Amino acid sequence: MDSIWIKGGNALNGTIPISGAKNAALTLLPCALLTDEPLTLTNLPRLADVDTFGHLLNQLGVSTRVEGVKPGQFGRSMTLQATEIASTVAPYDMVRRMRASILVLGPMLARAGESTVSLPGGCAIGDRPIDLHLQALECMGAEIELAAGYVKASAPKGRLSGGDFSFPVVSVGATENALMAAVLTTGRTQLFNAAREPEIVDLCNLLVAMGAKIEGIGSGHLIIDGVGALHGCTYEVMPDRIEAGSYACAIGMTGGSVDLLGARAEDMRATLNALAQAGLMIEFHERGIKVTSTGELRPLALSTAPFPGFATDMQAQFMSMLTLAKGESFLEETIFENRYMHVPELRRMGANIETRGRSALVHGVDKLTGASVMATDLRASMSLVLAGLAAEGETEVLRVYHLDRGYERLEEKLSAVGATIERRSAG
């Protein structure tokens, strides 16, 4: 099994190209199920999760063709076409690998009138039920049955009808599934308290490019008028705001100055505000965002929240950075109840962190020390890499398959700006 080896202490300077967003890509890919015409996605990141989703779509009858990628090039272009849906069953063996697989439920139901999807897997960061996905679909006329670990959904008349649904809590995945189902209904659907994340906006923009009728894009009130059919198109995946924020935290911990090429400030205001409050210098230019260390990290008080609040996917990286801040930082995780699994590993490196329930108190220390640490989920993995970049001595991060799910060629990008980092194979 591969590991990431890091010798810490190097300042980072140069440029890092920001890849297409993982969370957007996994939402855009199932849109291929909504049309029999080709859908081409560009700037698609080369990640394990994207490949896994592609294999799932293949099983459902979607053909996929990837254009050749030149050496050293990031991102790729993939053309998907579901001329016919060969199967309406997403099996456990595929879905258990990745929670985002549940996103085939809505579009498959909308296009084929039925859909059977295994209950999902994914990172072990707490209970993430899909009841809101199902309730939103039921409001459009779907009949839902849960049996033997599968969700079986059907449209009694072969096609969903419009309906109104108010999410009791903001849910990104449920909003995405509901959107993809609503675009092919026979009437109007209104979604209230819908998620507003940039990835939701990206999904709406793609659906509109395919012929969907959606009002209120970017707001919590989405109005979708169903159409008879969608068509294919070519669409560029948005840049990854979480990847950009992760590398910005690396600058805070190691020092230096890095241009994050392609990063979009409007997608990550809360992250950038927190970085500035922590003492980093943030500059905007036409090609992206420049992040520069000022030499001292200030403590923060942060609470995760749905967009436009501080993203839960940035919590672990900020915690790692704040281990070196001058003073005490307070973190509150409001989205998932089990997202502090990186804390024991950071403690192995000398961090001083107390946790109680969903709260964490980070006492800044003068230095971190390299150690062998174990990754537990995607963002926790990145927090350990960040700690290794700043630590004295050598760090080995095990279970890097988590990293491969969300960070495209991480060691290559970090090496290019001065980090001493490499991937090592156990065999």
Report d(CA 52, CA 308) in Å as an integer: 29
What is the set of active-site residues? 123
36 touches 257 (CB < 8 A): no
Q: Which residue type does 394 have?
A: E
The CA distance from 313 to 123, in Å, is: 12
Laid out side by side, the sheet with 281-285 consists of 12-17, 256-261, 288-292, 281-285
What length does the chain have?
427
Residues 62, 81: Cα–Cα separation, whole Å: 5
Q: How far apart are CA 80 and CA 145, in angstroms?
A: 30
Cα gap 360→181, rounded to integer Å: 39
Angle, in degrees to the nearest 10, between helices 198-209 and 172-182: 10
Between the alpha carbon of residue 208 and those of residues 16, 151, 276, 307, the distances in Å are: 31, 28, 35, 22
| Helix (H/G/I), strand (E/B), else coil: 374 | strand
Q: Return the percent helix, strand and coil in the chain, to nearest 5.
A: 35, 25, 40
184 in Cβ contact with 224 (< 8 Å): no
Binding residues: 22-23, 99, 128-132, 313, 335
Tokens 């456990």 sit on residue = 92
Tokens of 161: 């009808």
